[in-house]
Amino acid sequence: MSNPIAYPILRTPDPVLALHMARQLVAVGDRQYGEVSVGVELCSVPEVLRIREALPDAWFRKWDVRAPNPFAHGVHASELSSDADFLALHLPLWASMEDRPLGSVEEDFAALVGPNIGEILWSSLIWPDVPARDIRHEADNALVSLLFNCRTQDLDERSDDHTVLVHVRRRNRDGSEERHASWLAEQIGLSVIGPPQE
149 near 160, Cβ under 8 Å?
yes
Which pLDDT value is given to residue 1? 47
pLDDT of 150 higher than 90: yes
pLDDT of 119 higher than 60: yes
Distance CA 159, CA 183 (A): 27
Taking alpha carbons only, the member of 193, 3, 22 closest to residue 107 is: 22
Which pLDDT value is given to residue 180? 93
* 1-15 per-position pLDDT tens digit: 468 899 999 999 999
Q: What is the mean pLDDT of the segment spanning 81-105?
A: 95
pLDDT of 50 higher than 70: yes
- The chain-wide mean pLDDT, for the chain, equals 92
Q: What is the C-alpha radius of gyration for the chain, rounded to an integer number of angstroms? A: 18
Q: Measured at the alpha carbon of residue 108, what is the angle toward residues 107 and 109, in degrees to the nearest 5?
A: 90
Taking alpha carbons only, the member of 54, 118, 66, 61 closest to residue 94 is: 61
154 versus 24: the higher-pLDDT residue is: 24
* 162-185 per-position pLDDT tens digit: 999 999 988 766 678 899 999 999
Which pLDDT value is given to residue 64? 66
Distance CA 119, CA 114 (A): 12
Cα separations in angstroms, 16 against 51, 79, 147, 153, 177: 19, 32, 12, 20, 28
Distance CA 57, CA 55 (A): 5
